[in-house]
Amino acid sequence: MTSRLPALNDWVDQVAALTRPAAIHWCDGSDEENQALVARMQADGTLLPLNADTHPNCWLHRSHPEDVARVEHLTFVCTEDRDDAGPNNHWMSPADGHAQMDELFEGCMEGRTMYVIPYCMGPIDSPLSRCGVEITDSPYVVANMRLMTRMGALALARIEREGSFVKGLHSTGELDPKRRFIMHFPEELTIKSYGSGYGGNALLGKKCHALRIASWQAREEGWLAEHMLIVGIENPQGQTHYIAAAFPSACGKTNLAMLIPPDAYREAGWKVWTVGDDICWMRPGPDGRLWAINPEAGFFGVAPGTSEQSNPNALASLQSNAIFTNVAVTDDNQPWWEGLDKRTPAIDWQGRAFDPANGPAAHPNARFTVSARQTPSWSEKAEDPQGVPISAIVFGGRRASLVPLVFEARDWAHGVLIGASMGSETTAAATGAVGVMRRDPMAMKPFCGYNFADYFGHWLSFDGDEAKLPKIFHVNWFRKGDGGDFLWPGFGDNMRVLEWMIGRVKGEAEGVDTPIGILPTPEALNLDGVDLTGEAREKLFGVDTDGWKAEAASIGEYLSSYGEAMPDALHAQQRRLAEALG
């Protein structure tokens, strides 16, 4: 097979000449193709079958033990002008980047099959969607891309119609961390990734295309590509508000996207609909509101911590047709991870008999890949070509101290400052130290494909006369007390905070003006059935003025570190914050 698009055929020919595969397979996305691939991976041990009675058509993949997370220090944005990539990215010139990558790709597919994967990010007939083609030598990548994107014949037809696509070239190479790079060439809509099979490095439709390249495209075309879940909250009157929320990796986005409201809410008729759990593309509609799609078709979620209590919807979706990566297994061969339940696993993520002395049974960044449609809370609106209108944008980080449960921005520009100054403690989703506080603006630190200063400017530019923009909020589910315990129950109880936000959007809920923004009084939130200590009330609903003065100064320094490029409007917002704190 080839395509009717000469530009695509030429590129595939060039890649084949460089990588010298034994065979080329164009993926059509069919069930037969998938079954043949799975059989091949089962035969060579890439996929291990899990208990077919409890988990039909579920598979376990064990990655190389040194290839378990994104590698930010090996991820580059290659632009002609270094300033376009900004201090927030590792930079290389496109010429050097290509030279370095092409040397690695030279002959790397000898003896292997090269797969050509046409895919569409977003509903296949949506004007907001964008297409790409990933070339890879990994059948595991093909199987995951089939769950995560609209992949195959329909995507190819759209690519042929449109004539343009993002080019992604991937090889697992030798899985040698010293020969591993993920490079982006936004000016050429091109990605080259070598030496890793891990999702965020290898499923190029996800972080590489839908965030790094798409954020660049979005700036040129007047939209936003964000690291946000999209959730619909239906009230007892049947009215649904859609909320987009940005959190750093492994901070509970999937849980919030699939939240089950507390009993009293459910009995009253509240429902939660999942549109997306990781990425959101938003564009102003003719009515001035922001309309959003989830460009993905599946979930690549963090397994540890997922349980009947924290996320029953995710668990229900994982009973069949799922790929598990780096989880442990029980003695009857069911997938298992820390936080799932009280059983003791038999085999750890590296295939060894489980021994607590070796550390956790599942890798802390163990993942599941599953089609979004399998989730009980899946929203049919996820397939709507127009997307869904966004009423509120939420920014949130993992902050043990200082930051209250929720506050609202006074206006859009203030909201952009709140997003730009977001901080969070690092997690296992990327290699490196865990638990270190760093600024992670809009949860896009690892994913913004261009200079953050320009990105903030792009955000500010949406505030036009005709715009009917969402309200912006900041939340912190992770505030700890002096004894080190979490002060807020989180999970389903986060519904209480979402209800307040929707009340604010409708002009119904009470808020108190403070120097950092508008906070609910504890009375403005429905806390029926939540037992908060005095310390919790004070810390979750209070503003520590001295602590915030130091925070405001640190935000000022952070903004200044971008030099001249930082928009004055953000400096002005920071000054306003500092002055309000006195």
CB of 29 or CB of 199, closer to ligand OXD: 199
Site for ligand OXD in 287-316 (CB under 6 A): 300
CB of 249 to Mn ion, least distance (A): 5
- CA quadruple 309, 361, 148, 164: dihedral sign: positive
* CB neighbour list of residue 574: distance below 8 Å, 6 or more residues apart: 417, 421, 552, 555, 556, 559
CB of 246 or CB of 328, closer to ligand OXD: 246
CB of 226 to ligand OXD, least distance (A): 12
Closest-CA residue to 117 (of 205, 191, 42): 205
CB of 296 to Mn ion, least distance (A): 10
CB of 257 to ligand OXD, least distance (A): 12
Active site residue 251: yes
Residue 30's CB is within 10 A of a number of other CB atoms, namely: 12
CB of 104 or CB of 257, closer to ligand OXD: 257
- Candidate ranges 141-149, 274-282, 351-359, 541-549; the one touching Mn ion (CB under 5 A): 274-282
The 263-292 site mask, x for binding ligand OXD (CB under 6 A), equals ---------------x--------------
Task: Provide φ and ψ at 410, rounded to 5°.
Answer: -65, -35
Q: How many CA atoms lie within 13 A of 528 on its CB side?
A: 6
CB of 450 to ligand OXD, least distance (A): 18
Residue number closest to ligand OXD, CB atom: 249
Task: Provide φ and ψ at 420, rounded to 5°.
Answer: -65, -25
Enumerate long-range contacts of 437-443, CB under 8 Å, 24 or more apart. 437/399, 439/558, 440/248, 440/397, 441/88, 442/226, 442/227, 442/246, 442/395, 443/227, 443/228, 443/246, 443/247, 443/248, 443/249, 443/251, 443/395, 443/397
Site membership for ligand OXD, residue 398 (CB under 6 A)? no
Site for ligand OXD in 232-251 (CB under 6 A): 249
CB of 15 or CB of 257, closer to ligand OXD: 257
* CB neighbour list of residue 483: distance below 8 Å, 6 or more residues apart: none
Instruction: Please count the residues of this chain forming the interface with Mn ion, following the rule CB under 5 A.
Output: 2
Encoding tokens for residue 351?
A: 């295939």
Encoding tokens for residue 467?
A: 């715009």
CB of 323 or CB of 555, closer to Mn ion: 323
CB of 279 to ligand OXD, least distance (A): 8
Site membership for ligand OXD, residue 324 (CB under 6 A)? no
- CA quadruple 259, 264, 266, 270: dihedral sign: negative
Which of 33, 67, 278, 440: binder of Mn ion (CB under 5 A)? 278
Closest-CA residue to 497 (of 516, 479, 482, 485): 479
Site for Mn ion in 1-20 (CB under 5 A): none
> What element of type H or E holds 158?
helix 153-162
What does the alpha-carbon distance between residue 489 and residue 477 come to, in Å, rounded to a whole number?
8
- 433 in helix, strand or coil? coil
What does the alpha-carbon distance between residue 270 and residue 399 come to, in Å, rounded to a whole number?
29
CB of 168 or CB of 276, closer to Mn ion: 276
The 381-420 site mask, x for binding Mn ion (CB under 5 A), equals ----------------------------------------
Q: Which of 27, 58, 251, 280 is catalytic?
A: 251
Site membership for ligand OXD, residue 368 (CB under 6 A)? no
CB of 227 to Mn ion, least distance (A): 6
CB of 200 to Mn ion, least distance (A): 7
Site membership for ligand OXD, residue 478 (CB under 6 A)? no
429 binds, among ligand OXD, Mn ion, none (CB under 5 to 8 A by kind): ligand OXD
CB of 146 or CB of 504, closer to ligand OXD: 146
Site membership for ligand OXD, residue 34 (CB under 6 A)? no
311 binds, among ligand OXD, Mn ion, none (CB under 5 to 8 A by kind): none
Site membership for Mn ion, residue 348 (CB under 5 A)? no
CB of 216 or CB of 300, closer to ligand OXD: 300
Site membership for ligand OXD, residue 198 (CB under 6 A)? no
Q: Where are the alpha helices (DSSP H) in 270-334?
A: 312-317
Instruction: Please count the residues of this chain forming the interface with ligand OXD, following the rule CB under 6 A.
Output: 7
200 binds, among Mn ion, ligand OXD, none (CB under 5 to 8 A by kind): ligand OXD
Q: Residue 382 gets which letter from DSSP?
A: G
Site membership for ligand OXD, residue 200 (CB under 6 A)? yes
Site membership for Mn ion, residue 326 (CB under 5 A)? no
End-to-end CA distance of the chain: 69
Site membership for ligand OXD, residue 519 (CB under 6 A)? no
Determine contact, residues 529/264, Cβ cutoff 8 Å. Answer: yes
Q: ∠532-313-305 over CA atoms, to 5°?
A: 60
**Cα of 302 vs its chain's centroid, Å:** 11
* CB neighbour list of residue 290: distance below 8 Å, 6 or more residues apart: 224, 282, 283, 284, 389, 390, 462, 469, 470
Which of 429, 453, 487, 501: binder of ligand OXD (CB under 6 A)? 429
Site membership for Mn ion, residue 249 (CB under 5 A)? yes
CA distances from 486 to 353, 376, 399, 477 (A): 33, 29, 11, 8
- Helix and strand numbers, DSSP H then E, in the chain: 17, 29
CB of 398 to ligand OXD, least distance (A): 13
CB of 212 to Mn ion, least distance (A): 12
Site membership for Mn ion, residue 84 (CB under 5 A)? no
Which of 62, 70, 212, 399: binder of ligand OXD (CB under 6 A)? 70
Q: How many CA atoms lie within 13 A of 522 on its CB side?
A: 16
Q: Which residues are catalytic?
A: 251
Q: What is the contact surface with ligand OXD in residues (CB under 6 A)? A: 70, 199-200, 249, 278, 300, 429
Instruction: List residues binding Mn ion (CB under 5 A).
Output: 249, 278
